[in-house]
Amino acid sequence: MRRGPAKLEKKNLKAFLQTLMERYDLFGPVRLAEGVSVYKRIDDPQEVDLSSANPQKPLKEVFFAQSEVMFRYEKAGRKTEVRSTEEVERERIVLGARPCDIAAVLLLDQVFSGKDYTDVYYAKKREKTTLIGLACNRPLSTCFCASMGGGPFVRRGSDLFWIDLGEAYLVEFLTEKGEALSQNTLLEKADASEIDLAKALEQRASEKATSSLSIEGIEKRLDEMVESPFWDRVQEKCIGCRVCTYLCPTCHCFDIVDEASRGQGQRVRNWDSCLSPLYSLETSGHNPRPTTRERTRQRLMHKFNYFPKNFGSVACVGCGRCIIYCPAHFDIRKTLEEILVP
Amino acid sequence: MKVKDSARIDLESSWQPKILAFLCNWCSYAGADLAGTSRIQYPPNVRVIRVPCSGRVNPLFILKALQSGVDGVLVSGCHPGDCHYISGNYVGRRKSATLKRFLEYLGIEPGRVQFSWVSAAEGAKFSQVVKEVTEDVRKLGPIRRWTLQPQAQKP
Amino acid sequence: MMANAPSVGAWKSIGAESVQPFSPIRSGNPMIEQRIREKAKELLSRKDVDLVIGFGRGTLPLRATPLFARTPEEAEELIWNSFCAANLATYLHKLSRFKVGLVVKGCDSRSVVALLRERRFEPERLFLIGVPCQRMVDRRKVQRVAPGEILDAREQGDRIIVKGEDFEIHLKRDEFLYSSCQACLHRNPPKADWLASPPVEESALTEAFDEARLFEERPSEERWNFFIKETSRCIRCYACREACPMCYCSECFVDSSRPKWIGSGLDPSDLAFYHIVRAYHQTGRCAGCGACERACPMEIRLSYLTQKLNRDVKELFEFEAGLDPKDRPPLSTYEPDDWQEFIK
């Protein structure tokens, strides 16, 4: 039986975060420029921005960094010392994570620390992280989480769940990890009116986030369409950049490179994108995905056909970033509807 | 051999400008050679990379040098009209002009990247150019790192 | 014409009902729009071209999306308004086997001319549908003054009316233009096979190369810090590169491994290097369309870089890219008396 919800006054937020920082490494949304934010390690509680919309770069970056050194090596005499970077020293807290981004991390868990394989770099960070979800009081028109099994107040995957009540946050304790933070003196008990307000906000947000898009049957439909001329039209306006894949909370392609000079070096994992022609280019020169057609088809198939086959659910959480930031204004909702037209 | 006192390294102001010079094989490199055989003294801060022609210098060479922490770059070629490859230095001249202006616009101080025409007979000119470039770069101080770190103090 | 039109770009037309309430931008220039549609339909029905690339309604307000019309019916969905900002010339590289009708503004036409000069396509395979440009509206500037998410936007004369869940504001169109459009002196397409409207008077709303001029007035250290700070946000998505019509190298310098100029991660000096070189590679080629800056999801300021290069090329070599298909690219040629005061 979890303890009842608490309340954190916004005026106490900075102090609260400061006490957390004594024991934890804190991560959260930080504004880099007007309208541009990312999840970053917080050095100063003032940096945290919990009022803007979803950061451009998604939550996955906290566990699966865009550029991560895997190990370093150095020749010492006749031996080579190798030092892995997988260890995570301090416990971590991520705050301000939206339900869609958290749902995406749950999907990535199946890839990076699932039954078949454990990626230590991801897994160790994940183990040591307490996730604080933040409800979306005002979903955007581009949010279609409801069509992907999510929603603006979905709590699944959060250790704590915060709801912005205006002058304070309602704090719900959902797991043991979350309850570990409940002793903080700045957390006061929430009263009934506050709980009611949170319920009202949830009601309103859920109404707003309804999306008429339904993806029922998409996996089967895509099975039938592999060689369809549909893909010739879908790919037309794609310019082949990497915005959708890098900003997508579930995309997880990567490249591994060695950087070395004079007896020392490091192995680095960097994000990569299936939309880049180089991604599938083979040493022989053959490219199984030679044009935008094959690559855009692959991306949609991966999200809505291969991932369901491998892991049981589609790899899209409806965050809407690809719709907002695509330079060609590609709208995946429209593409999905067109796929499902009988 | 006795080490002279003046050669003792003073650790506090030990920074010396490191300058990379791209010298065209037919004129400037030969001019540098002549400075050497004529025993003309000039500062040792310049490291030379011999290229066939000043027009061979890819702007990315200059940028890579600056990114790597080199404090200054010199590109030197044949005088207009004397290029061994007829027009390489002319094409190089246009690249140099546009690149120099662009780098200064971005905030790389004027004087870090310099250009000269030095012929095979101009040993004295070469040493003079090196003296001037070294002095200019010394006054500017170490190059600012290409990162968000706070700026390094000048020595 | 304003009624529910079939969805943009669909190979099977479906109703737009299911994507409500995302109401599309209303057309600002019905007459130009109609003429573009008629011309496109004519070209397609006579099979003068295999397809027409123009603009169609985006699913979000304040946006027009590239539209690829292969039949007269599809051409009916072409639109024209102040949000048709994209430079469609970038799509030509994928379509060199086809005969393409391309809707071009002034800057877009300049890009096409620059590409023709670089011998990227045969001129006979292109039909340029020229539109003298009314200057395009910067949707980010508009969003910044709105108190919430914009759900609907329409043009009405010289106004833009923007609506959200609980607000409606009226804006003067001319106060929300892209800075590259404000300074533009080439709104008329220098090369066009047909014009959708009479040419407009060439006049800039701000001084030419304004951004570059203002930037240059700042002290050197400040400029460098600004540049490093802006590029530190870069996520190497290459939207700038792909949106640019002039970036078409089959191997970009970033992918070169011998020599390896830069890594593929987020080293701040590599980010700076990438942007310096990408801009510099446009010297003498850039039409100043601003597609790079417009495409960037991290809103990095980029057009002030190419502006400087464009200005220098004009001052030093009296050259502007994309105005004459017969001109020589400035870095591939020389004059005996080129400026050389900077050379010792």
B15 to chain C, any CB pair closer than 8 A? The answer is no
Annotated domain spans of chain A: 6-208, 218-340
CATH number for the domain including B67?
3.40.50
Put the strands of the sheet holding A264-271 in their side by side order: A79-84, A67-76, A264-271, A254-261
Is residue B12 scored above 60 in pLDDT? Answer: no
Contact B63 C273 (CB under 8 A): yes
Is residue B13 scored above 90 in pLDDT? Answer: no
Quick one: how far is CA C267 from the chain centroid?
Answer: 29
Q: What percent of chain C has pLDDT over 90?
A: 83
Cα dist from A210 to A89, A205, A254, whole Å: 42, 9, 33
**Is B152 among the domain residues?**
no
A247 to chain C, any CB pair closer than 8 A? The answer is yes
Of C336, C344, C341, nearest to B31 by C-alpha is: C344
- The 10 Å Cβ neighbour count of residue C299 is 17
Q: Which two tokens stand for residue A337?
A: 């509807």
Residues C129 and C126: their CA atoms lie apart, in Å, by 9
pLDDT band at C341; cut points 50, 70, 90: very high
**Which has the higher per-residue pLDDT, A211 or C188?**
C188
Domains in chain B, number? 1
Minimum CA–CA partner of C222 in chain B: B107
The pLDDT of residue C85 is 96
Contact B115 C342 (CB under 8 A): yes
Quick one: how far is CA A316 from the chain centroid?
Answer: 10
Distance from CA of C109 to the nearest CA of B (A): 25
**Taking the CA of residue B86 as centre, how many other CA atoms within 13 Å lie in the half-sphere pointing to its CB?**
2
The pLDDT of residue B149 is 59
Residues 107-126 of B with CB under 8 A from C: 107-110, 114-117
Phi, psi at C284, each rounded to 5°: 80, 5
Q: Which of A313-322, C14-23, C175-184 has the lowest mean pLDDT?
A: C14-23
Contact C343 B116 (CB under 8 A): yes
Contact B129 C344 (CB under 8 A): yes
Chain A contact partners (≥3 CB pairs within 8 A):
C
**For the purposes of burial, counting CB atoms within 10 Å of the CB of B24, is it exposed (0-12), middle (13-18) or buried (19 or more)?**
buried
Q: Which two tokens stand for residue A246?
A: 């890098």
Residues A152 and C107: their CA atoms lie apart, in Å, by 42
A331 to chain C, any CB pair closer than 8 A? The answer is yes
Phi, psi at A199, each rounded to 5°: -65, -40
- For the entire predicted model, the pTM comes to 0.92
A213 contacts on C by Cβ (under 8 Å): 18
Contact C309 B146 (CB under 8 A): no
**For the purposes of burial, counting CB atoms within 10 Å of the CB of C268, is it exposed (0-12), middle (13-18) or buried (19 or more)?**
middle
B108 contacts on C by Cβ (under 8 Å): 220, 224
A333 to chain C, any CB pair closer than 8 A? The answer is yes
Contact C340 B93 (CB under 8 A): yes
Distance from CA of B95 to the nearest CA of C (A): 7
C73, C87, C94: which to substitute to probe chain A, counting the most A Cβ within 10 Å?
C94
Distance from CA of A17 to the nearest CA of C (A): 25
SS3 of residue C268 by DSSP = helix
C265 contacts on A by Cβ (under 8 Å): 66-67, 268, 270
Is residue B154 scored above 70 in pLDDT? Answer: no
CA angle A193, A199, A200 (to 5 degrees): 90
The pLDDT of residue C310 is 95
Interface size A-C, in CB pairs within 8 Å, comes to 136
Cα dist from C306 to A77, C212, C225, C231, C289, whole Å: 50, 9, 18, 15, 10
The pLDDT of residue A85 is 87
C172 to chain A, any CB pair closer than 8 A? The answer is no
Q: pLDDT digit string (tens) for C264-297?
A: 999 999 999 999 999 999 999 999 999 999 999 9
The pLDDT of residue B150 is 53
B80 to chain C, any CB pair closer than 8 A? The answer is yes
Full pLDDT tens readout for chain A, 342 residues: 678 999 999 999 999 999 999 999 999 999 999 999 999 999 999 999 999 899 999 999 999 999 999 999 999 888 989 999 888 899 999 999 999 999 999 999 999 998 889 999 999 999 999 999 999 999 999 999 999 999 999 999 999 999 999 999 999 999 999 999 998 899 999 999 999 999 999 999 999 887 789 999 999 999 999 999 999 999 999 999 999 999 999 999 999 999 988 889 999 999 999 999 999 999 999 999 999 999 999 999 999 999 999 999 999 999 999 999 999 999 999 999 999 987
B54 to chain C, any CB pair closer than 8 A? The answer is no
When CB atoms are compared, the residue of C22, C243, C265 closest to A239 is C243
**Is B46 among the domain residues?**
yes
Q: pLDDT digit string (tens) for C136-165?
A: 999 999 999 999 999 999 998 889 999 999
Tell me what percent of chain C is helix, strand and coil, each rounded to the nearest 5.
Answer: 35, 15, 50
C295 contacts on A by Cβ (under 8 Å): 239, 241, 243, 327
Of A306, A246, A314, nearest to A107 by C-alpha is: A314
SS3 of residue B65 by DSSP = helix
Average pLDDT value for residue range C82-105? 96
Residues A61 and C255: their CA atoms lie apart, in Å, by 23
Contact A331 C59 (CB under 8 A): yes
Residues B121 and B114: their CA atoms lie apart, in Å, by 20
Of C88, C121, C104, C118, nearest to C245 by C-alpha is: C88
Minimum CA–CA partner of B93 in chain C: C340
Q: Which two tokens stand for residue B84?
A: 């061994």
Per the CB < 8 A criterion, the answer to whether A145 and A152 are in contact is: yes
Name B97's Cβ contacts closer than 8 Å, sequence gap at least 6: C312, C316, C338, C339, C340, C342
Distance from CA of C282 to the nearest CA of A (A): 19
Average pLDDT value for residue range C45-51? 97
Chain C contact partners (≥3 CB pairs within 8 A):
A, B
Q: Say if B and A touch: at least 3 Cβ pairs within 8 Å.
A: no
Contact B94 C331 (CB under 8 A): yes
Residues A133 and A124: their CA atoms lie apart, in Å, by 20
The pLDDT of residue C19 is 34
Residues C101 and C126: their CA atoms lie apart, in Å, by 6
A138 contacts on C by Cβ (under 8 Å): 148-149
Average pLDDT value for residue range C9-19? 30
Per-residue HEC secondary structure of chain A comes to CCCCCEEEEHHHHHHHHHHHHHHEEEEEEEEEECCEEEEEECCCHHHECCCCCCCCCCCHHHHCCCEEEEEEEEEECCEEEEEECCCCCCEEEEEEECHHHHHHHHHHHHHHECCCCECHHHHHHHHCEEEEEECCCCCCCCCCHHHHCCCCCCCCCCCEEEEECCCEEEEEECCHHHHCCCCCCCCEECCHHHHHHHHHHHHHHHHHCCCCCCCCCHHHHHHHCCCCCHHHHHCCCCCCCCHHHHHCCCCCCEEEEEEEECCEEEEEEEECCCCCHHHHCCCCCCCCCCCHHHHHHHHHHHHHHHHHHHHCCCCCCCCCHHHHHCCCCCCHHHHHHHHHCC
B136 to chain C, any CB pair closer than 8 A? The answer is no
Distance from CA of C245 to the nearest CA of B (A): 22
Contact A240 C19 (CB under 8 A): no
Residues 50-69 of C with CB under 8 A from A: 58-60, 63-68
The pLDDT of residue C27 is 46
Q: pLDDT digit string (tens) for C52-67?
A: 999 999 999 999 999 9
Q: Report CA Rg, chain B.
A: 16
Residues 232-291 of C with CB under 8 A from B: 232, 253, 261, 268-269, 272-273, 276-277, 279-280, 283
At A246, the amino acid letter reads: Y
Name A189's Cβ contacts closer than 8 Å, sequence gap at least 6: A4, A6, A7
Containing domain of residue B110, as a range?
17-140
Per the CB < 8 A criterion, the answer to whether C53 and C102 are in contact is: yes
Q: What percent of chain B has pLDDT over 70?
A: 87
Average pLDDT value for residue range C91-103? 95
**Is B147 among the domain residues?**
no
Residues A183 and A138: their CA atoms lie apart, in Å, by 30
Is residue B11 scored above 80 in pLDDT? Answer: no
When CB atoms are compared, the residue of A237, A330, A333 closest to C68 is A237
Distance from CA of C57 to the nearest CA of A (A): 10
Contact C243 A270 (CB under 8 A): no
Distance from CA of B14 to the nearest CA of C (A): 24
Name A282's Cβ contacts closer than 8 Å, sequence gap at least 6: A288
Q: Which of A146-150, B74-78, B103-107, C21-25 has the lowest mean pLDDT?
A: C21-25
- The 10 Å Cβ neighbour count of residue B49 is 14
Burial state string for A145-172 with b = 16 or more CB within 10 A and e = fewer than 16: bbbbebbbbbeebbbbbbbbbeebbbbb
SS3 of residue C79 by DSSP = coil
Distance from CA of A185 to the nearest CA of C (A): 35
Burial state string for A102-113 with b = 16 or more CB within 10 A and e = fewer than 16: bbbbebbbbbbb
Residues A254 and A112: their CA atoms lie apart, in Å, by 12
The pLDDT of residue C208 is 76
Is residue B8 scored above 90 in pLDDT? Answer: no
Contact C265 A270 (CB under 8 A): yes
Cα dist from A118 to A114, A115, A255, A267, A273, whole Å: 6, 8, 17, 18, 21
The pLDDT of residue A1 is 62
Put the strands of the sheet holding C100-104 in their side by side order: C64-69, C51-57, C100-104, C126-130, C194-195
C149 contacts on A by Cβ (under 8 Å): 138, 140-141
Average pLDDT value for residue range B107-124? 97
C301 to chain B, any CB pair closer than 8 A? The answer is no
Contact B146 C269 (CB under 8 A): yes
The pLDDT of residue B77 is 97
Minimum CA–CA partner of C243 in chain A: A239
Per the CB < 8 A criterion, the answer to whether C239 and C296 are in contact is: yes
The pLDDT of residue A2 is 74
Residues 35-54 of A with CB under 8 A from C: 35-36
